[in-house]
Amino acid sequence: MLTTDVFPYLLGLSAFMFSLGAAGVLIRRNPLVVFMCIELMLNAGNVALVAYGRFLNSQEGQIFAFMVIVVAAAEVVVGLAIMTTIFRLGRKLDVDDLSELNE
């Protein structure tokens, strides 16, 4: 049973996950890892939503988290498909190499 004492720690955890994800997007160069960091950011949002929902005694946060899970799954499908296509074109997967545009 979740008590209100745990609540600040949960928020702290979500803030930590969010910062970790955001930092990863900016630092890492492999699109797959960048993508994983984006998922981490979304999950940080989920943790915050669920924690707030429990704290506020409202179900909206929990329902919202379910929607986000579905959306994140759909995003993974599209993202991996795009990366597979790039890989099949014979390109190395590195975000710094993506400079065909921007002449």
Partner 1 sequence: MLAQSAPLVPLVTPSANDLLDLLPELIVGFGFIALMLLDLVVGRQRWWLAVAAIVFLAAGFGASVWGWFDSGNGHTLYFGSFAYDKFSMFINCVLLFSSALVILISPHYLNRRGIHHGEYYALILAATLGMMLLAGAMSLMVIFLGIEGLSLSLYILSGFSRTEERSQEAALKYLLLGGFASGFLLYGMALVYGETGHTQLQQIGAALHSTTQADPMLLAGVVLIFVGFAFKASLVPFHTWTPDVYQGAPTSVTTFMSVTTKVAAFAVIVRVFTYTFVSLYSHWEVIVAVVAIASIVVGNVAALTQTHVKRMLAYSSIAQAGYILIGVAVGTLSNTSSSITGTTGVLYYLAAYAVTQIGAFAVITIMAGRGEDLDSYDGLRGLAYRRPFVAAAMGLFLLSLGGFPPTVGFFGKFFVFAAAVNANLTLLALWGIAGSAISVFYYLRVALLMYQRPKDEQQEYPWSRTTIAGGTALLAAAAGTLVFGILVAVVFNGAQAAQNAILPAIASTR
User: Any idea how long the chain is?
Assistant: 103
Judged by CB under 8 A, does residue 33 bind partner 1?
no
Distance CA(29)–CA(11), nearest Å, equals 29
Asked if residue 100 binds partner 1 (CB under 8 A), the reply is yes
What binding mask, one character per residue, do residues 47-76 give for partner 1 by CB under 8 A, x or -?
Answer: -xx-xx--xxxxxxx-xx--xx--x--xx-
What sign does the CA torsion over 11, 16, 19, 20 have? negative
Q: Does the footprint of partner 1 cover residue 23 (CB under 8 A)?
A: no
Over the range 67-90, which residues count as b (16 or more CB within 10 Å of their CB) and which as e?
A: eeeeebeeeeeebeeebeeeeeee
Rule CB under 8 A: is residue 36 a binding residue for partner 1?
A: no
The residues of the shown chain that bind partner 1, judged by CB under 8 A, are: 1, 11, 14, 18, 21-22, 25, 31, 34-35, 38, 41-42, 44-45, 48-49, 51-52, 55-61, 63-64, 67-68, 71, 74-75, 78-79, 81-83, 85-86, 89, 91, 95, 98, 100-102
